[in-house]
Copies of this chain bind each other. A is one copy, B any other.
Amino acid sequence: MINPDLLLQFNAELIKIEKGHIIFDYGSKAQFYFQVKSVEVKMNNVNRDGKEFIQGIFYAGQSFGEPPLFADVAYPAGAEAITDAELYRLPKDIFFELLKQNPDTHLKISEVLASRLYYKAIMASEISSQEPEHRILRLLDYTKKHIHDLDSTDVLEVDLTRQQIADLTGLRVETVIRSCKSLEKKGEIQIKKRKIFR
């Protein structure tokens, strides 16, 4: 979300991460600002106690892992590249220096935090309201609107596996599969060749 030129101006490193490699671990200290550079790059977070819960998947142009930078806490989740990825990386103190010198950029970061908080707020209430089908629809609508910038008349081809949907919503694969079928019957989504469209 920060202009790449500005990042480079502040000597941001451009690092390459191979698929499956760890970017930072759960519980470690935040030392860098990260922003996804190019290609469709996804990122997922794993949480302790066996089961995986994906906090979010991030694509080109998006930043991630900033909260611990500000809040001075350990990472609540680890981060991993799920495809080969290119990332901008900026050390913490330089990041703050950049913000200080560029109030507009700081405001943009606040916007990002705010909209992510908005998303989490919605997901939290939606997840709590059980109803697997609701959870899934909210997730799809969110990614459609906020990740792919489509409006409601467009059709989104969902590029998440059922397992990823499960990990994002806190459900089980089988439940996701069954719910999707049911949603298809209700006309809420379409499934063509196992791909989900919404």
Contacts and interface: CB of A to CB of B under 8 A. Distances in A.
A91 interface: no
A98 to B, nearest CB: 12
Interface in A54-103: 55, 66-73, 76-77, 96, 99-100, 103
A47 B71 CA distance: 27
Interface in A107-166: 107, 109-111, 113-118, 120-125, 127-130
Contacts of A99: 107
A193 interface: no
Contacts of A127: 124, 127-128, 170
Interface string A151-188: 00000000000000000011000000000000000000
A110 B120 contact: no
B170 A67 contact: no
A120 B121 contact: yes
Contacts of A121: 55, 67, 76-77, 120
Q: Interface of chain A, helix or strand or loop or mixed?
A: helix
A51 B170 contact: no
Given A99-B107, A106-B106, A68 B124 contact: no
B73 A125 contact: no
Nearest to A117: B67
A114 B70 contact: yes
Given A67-B115, A118-B68, A121-B55, A129 B170 contact: yes
A34 interface: no
Interface of A: 47, 49, 51, 53, 55, 66-73, 76-77, 96, 99-100, 103, 106-107, 109-111, 113-118, 120-125, 127-130, 169-170
The 10 A-B pairs at the shortest CB distance, nearest first, are namely A128-B170, A70-B114, A71-B115, A67-B114, A120-B120, A53-B125, A71-B114, A113-B113, A47-B125, A67-B117
